Structure formats: C-alpha cells, structure tokens
C-alpha cells in the first residue's frame, strides 16, 4: 500500500477505527463539513503528532520518506494502537521512526496493520459488556 487507503476503508469506517481522541479532534475540525476526506485525517495526524510525543524531526522524516498519505496513516495506526491489548504502542515517536526505516527498506505494510486494527476493533465491538 503506497499511501492510499483502500476504498473499503471509507472515512466513516476510519472514524470507527480511530481512537476517541482522534475522533474528537476530527469532529471538532470538520464541524459543519458535508463529508470527511483524507485531508481531514492528515490534519488530525498533524495535530495528534505532538500530543503523542512525535518530534517535528521524526514527522518531517516520515513525510520525506513515506509521503503525506502514508505518514498520516502511520500516525493514525500508532494512536489507535496505544490501547492494543497485547502490544500497546508506548513510544509513538520511536515507533514512527521505525516505520519510516521499514518504509525506506520497502518492508512497511500499512495495509496489513490497518486490516489487523479493523479486525481487532470489530472483535471488541462484538464483546458484550459485563453487567
């Protein structure tokens, strides 16, 4: 996946996969907009970057190596996986640098990460809360 989110991952589906913080940020920034698009997720990633502790240098390097679409998607995935039950992202800045390196080596699979996130979120939604 070279930076483009597949059509099956509509903006509405991406919102369901996003963290609560990311959803709130996008909702605030797009209030009154007719529909969401990639630029809305990019803008949210730019704002979330500093909140996640990702330095300007790491973000700029990601943009240079991966391009804007893969960079916002990487930040989106890192943010969404901070609550991963087995391997939570504890250092988003370091993780983005590692993703940037893997991308430069041709070994980064953002689509696979996005699919795994979707499966996890869908499984979490099926679990009934305890009374």
Helix-then-strand count for the chain, H and E: 6, 0
Whether 104 contacts 61, CB under 8 Å: no
pLDDT at 131: 57
Lowest mean pLDDT among 2-11, 60-69, 73-82, 97-106: 2-11
> 């700029």: which residue's tokens?
60
Lowest mean pLDDT among 3-17, 74-88, 110-124: 3-17
> 């330095």: which residue's tokens?
55
pLDDT (tens digit per residue) in 13-38: 999 999 999 999 999 989 878 889 88
Nearest-angstrom CA–CA distance, 110 and 100: 11
Nearest-angstrom CA–CA distance, 103 and 73: 13
CA 86, distance to chain mean position in Å, is: 18
């Amino acid at each position: 996946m070279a930076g483009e989110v597949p059509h099956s991952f509509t903006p509405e589906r991406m919102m369901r996969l996003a963290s609560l913080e990311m959803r709130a940020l996008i909702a605030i920034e797009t209030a009154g907009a007719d529909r969401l698009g990639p630029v809305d997720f990019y803008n949210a990633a730019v704002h979330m970057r500093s909140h996640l502790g990702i330095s300007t240098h790491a973000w700029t390097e990601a943009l240079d190596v991966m391009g804007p679409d893969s960079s916002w998607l990487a930040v989106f995935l890192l943010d969404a996986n901070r609550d991963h039950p087995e391997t939570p992202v504890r250092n988003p800045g370091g993780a983005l640098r590692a993703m940037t390196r893997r991308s430069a080596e041709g070994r980064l699979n953002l689509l696979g990460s996005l699919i795994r996130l979707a499966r996890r979120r869908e499984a979490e939604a099926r679990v009934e809360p305890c009374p």
